[in-house]
Structure formats: C-alpha cells, structure tokens
C-alpha cells in the first residue's frame, strides 16, 4: 500500500482519523498547547485512562482511547526539551516517532496525525524537528505497509511551509 504523507494547518483535535498524536509531557496528565487542547477535547475519561499508565519517559509513547475525540486513539509521545542540541534531543525526538509508529502498527491504525512535537514550549527548532519527523515517517512507511495516511497537522503557516517543503523535497 502507498502511504499518503501530507501537511495541513488546522485543529488536530477535530481530525477524524484512527489516531492523533499528543505532544505530551512525562506525566501524561495534560498541560499546555496541543496537550491541553487534546485533553480538553477528549474529556475527563482521557485523564482517567492516562492516570493508570503511570507516565511515560521522554522519547517514548503510550496509547489510549480517543474518548470524546473523533480519533479512535490518542498516542501520547513525550518529546525532548531543547537544551542546545548536545543532550540527545534529536535521538529522543526520533524515538517519539518510532514509538508512535510501532504502537500504530501494533493496534492496526491506518491513519494518523502528528503535531510538531517539541516545537512549542519545549523550543525544539522547527526546521530540525520537521526534518526528523519526515525522515522517520519515510523510514517507517518504506519498511511497513501498515499506514495509508500520515498527516502533519500544523498550528501556523510557517510550520506548514516547513513540512510541505520537507515532504516535497
């Protein structure tokens, strides 16, 4: 199967896909930015389910139901805080994508959307994060025919332009 990889600008909480990825913190209990938006949209059942998971280390991911979201699952990926680039940030961010794709494959997910993990409050440089995200997506989709659609859901025009250029390049 050919995987469609695309970038859009919009509200990740409104997407009707098998899964959306949450740019989570290590507690998995909600926070600011996309994390808070997903928790608010999904309702209290998401937090209750996340409480049972006991957190998640940076560079890894966990999966829950989508609760009140259109998406049937939420994959919570914990990206690294940018500390200058010499603290395994690239490796940890790539790990978020690998772990998310592994969970997607395991759970039979055919369509998935990612935010720009770690590029908000965690200050990971957007262009660098974009290159890692698209490279890991291409790596997974080349090795596996499990996904039909991967969406990068961008918050602003600048991020959207970065993702579209990287996908086309």
The total number of structural domains in the chain stands at 1
* Tokens coding 89: 């940030």
Confidence (pTM)? 0.97
For the chain, what percent of residues have pLDDT higher than 90?
96
pLDDT of residue 1: 67
How far apart are the C-alpha atoms of 69 and 74, rounded to whole Å? Answer: 9
How far apart are the C-alpha atoms of 121 and 135, rounded to whole Å? Answer: 23
pLDDT of residue 5: 98
CATH number at 83 reads 3.40.220.10
Clarify whether 90 is annotated catalytic: no
For the chain, what percent of residues have pLDDT higher than 70?
99
How far apart are the C-alpha atoms of 64 and 42, rounded to whole Å? Answer: 11
Mean pLDDT score of the chain: 97
Question: Can you give the residue range of the structural domain that contains 31?
Answer: 4-168
* Tokens coding 107: 């759970």
**Residue of 35, 90, 127, 156 marked catalytic:** 35
């Amino acid at each position: 199967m050919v995987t469609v990889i695309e970038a859009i600008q919009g509200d990740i909480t409104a997407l009707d896909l098998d899964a959306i990825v949450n740019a989570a913190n290590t507690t998995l209990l909600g926070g600011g930015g996309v994390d808070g938006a997903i928790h608010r949209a999904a309702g209290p059942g998401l937090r209750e389910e996340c409480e049972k998971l006991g957190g998640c280390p940076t560079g890894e991911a966990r999966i829950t139901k989508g609760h009140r979201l259109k998406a049937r699952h939420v994959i919570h990926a914990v990206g690294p805080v940018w500390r200058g680039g010499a603290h395994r940030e690239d490796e940890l961010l790539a790990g978020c994508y690998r772990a998310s794709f592994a969970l997607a494959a395991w759970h039979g997910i055919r369509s998935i959307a990612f935010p720009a993990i770690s590029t908000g409050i965690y200050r990971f440089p957007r262009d660098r994060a974009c290159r890692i995200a698209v490279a890991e997506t291409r790596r997974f989709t080349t090795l596996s025919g499990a996904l039909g659609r991967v969406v990068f859901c961008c918050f602003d025009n600048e991020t959207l332009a970065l993702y579209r250029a990287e996908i086309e390049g």
